[in-house]
Amino acid sequence: MAKTDPAAKSTTQEPLVITISGEHGSGREAVGALLARYLDMPCTDEPELERLVDEGLAAGGNGKTKHDNWLEGMGDWIVEHTTIERPKQRNRLLHLVKVVVEKADHGGILIGAGAHLILANHRVFRLKVEAGNTFCAKALSEAEGTSLKESRREVEETNRARIEKVREIYQAFPTTSTYYDLVLNAESFSREEMVQLTILAMQQTGFLQAQA
């Protein structure tokens, strides 16, 4: 798939940000990589986001590893969150917010990690790639060479863990912006088709200029 032409750039001066959510095995990472290549923009998946959080925590910090005032301008909700108990969970969540917001400041695609909730007050296109457990388990089994039974267990366990993580983020940072701009069924569309539909939706919703 070729990169987008100059007519398909962001319609504002703000960095273009896309978040992608989806079930384990739905292909959200592959869709994100294809979309990033098409739009010629960086893509950060959930493992990489978590790695950056771990690095920040390992640096000993209180979240202030790059600039001292990183909490400023992020809204009352994040400041209020600092008074919640459970210091370790609070500190990890604050580092996650820091990583996600800093990534969003530079533009790009962010996959998972509750980024669509963390960036509720930002101009972000929110995509969800969904599929049923059977589809996801089969896709995972074919990709990793594991049995269908093992893959189904991995899909179910991973999705449960993700739901708990997103629930924790939502409880910590409640927002009414829990919607998605576009939800695509991986069982109905190929990854290339999902990218094309996402581009079309972003043009229709004013995130990208329509190509001539």
Q: What is the DSSP letter of 74?
A: S
Using DSSP bridges, classify how beta strands 43-44 and 108-111 pair: parallel, antiparallel or unpaired: parallel
Q: Among 28-42, 72-86, 123-137, which is the least confidently predicted range?
A: 72-86
Q: What is the pLDDT of residues 106-156, one digit of tens each?
A: 999 999 999 998 888 889 999 999 999 999 999 999 999 999 999 999 999
Q: Are 56 and 95 in contact (CB under 8 A)?
A: yes
pTM: 0.82
- List b or e across 5-43, with b for residues whose CB sees 16 or more CB atoms inside 10 angstroms: eeebebeeeeebbbbbbbbbbbbbbbbbbbbbebbebeb
Q: Tell me what percent of the residues of the chain surpass a pLDDT of 70.
A: 78
